[in-house]
Structure 1
């Protein structure tokens, strides 16, 4: 089941998202996961640690899926 995450503003960086939802404890762990090819955005492996993610994007990591939605 996917978890919704409200994006404040225009976008959130991938590393910040992974920390915000608690899938990693530090930015270093987020960077390592991205470098290892463990993070997918919209079904494709994402190699940019600071990729700008906008509402509508789907992020998969560690068996979890996060769907970005606009902040109401």
Structure 2
């Protein structure tokens, strides 16, 4: 089964918090949904489980939720 492509999401400045990035990338509908994804252990950051909404991302970090993958890049 082929892996999902990684979408590049432009951010204005670094770092960006994981909860904010999930919303910006369209993975989470809102802050509550982002919290739910993290609390139910559905979020992977660079191949490792991440449950901290405030985890700070830098350009090149890869966030995966199910089949969706995205990474922040500087604008």
Query: One fold, TM greater than 0.5?
Result: yes
TM superposition outliers: structure 1 runs of 4+ over 6 Å: none
TM-score (norm 1): 0.89
Structure 2, unmatched stretches of 5+, are none
TM-score (norm 2): 0.86
Find the aligned partners of 1:25 and 1:66 in 2 and give their Cα distance.
Answer: 15
Structure 1, unmatched stretches of 5+, are none
Count, aligned residues: 71
Cα-Cα RMSD: 1.0
Find the aligned partners of 1:9 and 1:23 in 2 and give their Cα distance.
Answer: 20
